[in-house]
Amino acid sequence: MLMKYNRKVDFPIFASSPHVYLDSAATTHKPEVVIRAMADFYRNHYGTVRRGLYQLSAQATRIYEETREQIARFLNAKESAEVVFTSGATEGINLVAESFLKHRLQENDEIVISILEHHANFIPWQQLARENKARLIILPLDQHGEIDLTALKNVLSPKTKLLAIGHVSNVTGGINPVRQMIELAHTAGVPVLIDGAQSIAHLKIDVQDLDCDFFAFSGHKVYGPTGIGVLFGKKKWLEEMPPYRYGGEMILEVTADYSRFKNPPHRFEAGTPNIAGVIGLKAALAYVSSLDLAQIHTYEKQITDHLTQELRRSGVRIIGAPMERSSVVSFLVDDIHPHDVATILDSQNIAVRAGHHCAQPLMRYLNIPATVRASVGWYNDLEDVEQLIKGIIYTRKVMQ
- The model's pLDDT over 25-76, given as tens digits with 9 standing for 90+, comes to 999 999 999 999 999 999 999 999 988 789 999 999 999 999 999 999 999 9
Average pLDDT score over residue span 357-373:
98
| Boundary-marking domain end, from 264, 289, 314 | 289
In a domain, 1, yes or no: no
Q: Give just the sign of the alpha carbon dihedral 31, 330, 5, 68.
A: negative
Please tell me whether residues 73 and 203 are part of one structural domain: yes
Residue from 351, 275, 375 nearest 50 by CA: 275
In a domain, 168, yes or no: yes
Please tell me whether residues 136 and 111 are part of one structural domain: yes
In a domain, 160, yes or no: yes
Please tell me whether residues 345 and 198 are part of one structural domain: no
Print burial letters for 169-179: b (CB count within 10 Å at least 16), e (below 16). Answer: bbbbbbbbbbe
Per-residue pLDDT reduced to its tens digit, 133-151? 999 999 999 988 899 999 9
* Separation CA 161–CA 16 (nearest Å): 50
Q: What is the pLDDT of residue 7?
A: 84
Question: What is the biggest distance separating any 2 CA atoms in the chain, rounded to whole angstroms?
Answer: 72
Please tell me whether residues 335 and 283 are part of one structural domain: no
Residue 124 above 60 pLDDT? yes
Phi, psi at residue 257, to the nearest 5°? -110, -25
Average pLDDT score over residue span 80-94:
99
Work out the pLDDT band at 5, boundaries 50, 70, 90. low
**Domain of residue 213, CATH code:** 3.40.640.10
**Cis check: omega of the bond before 242, within 30 degrees of 0:** no
Residue pair 193/238 in contact by the 8 Å Cβ criterion: no
Q: What is the pLDDT of residue 165?
A: 99
In a domain, 55, yes or no: yes
Residue pair 271/247 in contact by the 8 Å Cβ criterion: yes
| Boundary-marking domain end, from 261, 289, 317 | 289
Residue pair 376/188 in contact by the 8 Å Cβ criterion: no
Average pLDDT score over residue span 323-351:
97
Its domain, for residue 17, covers 8-22+292-398
In a domain, 28, yes or no: no
**Which residues on adjacent β-strands are paired with residue 163?**
112, 192
Q: Give just the sign of the alpha carbon dihedral 318, 194, 185, 212.
A: negative
Please tell me whether residues 94 and 153 are part of one structural domain: yes
Query: How many domains does the chain fold into?
Result: 2
Residue pair 332/371 in contact by the 8 Å Cβ criterion: yes
pTM: 0.97
Active site residues: 358
* Separation CA 358–CA 119 (nearest Å): 5
Please tell me whether residues 245 and 363 are part of one structural domain: no
In a domain, 245, yes or no: yes
In a domain, 344, yes or no: yes
Lowest mean pLDDT among 48-52, 128-132, 285-289: 48-52
Residue from 299, 229, 184 nearest 75 by CA: 229
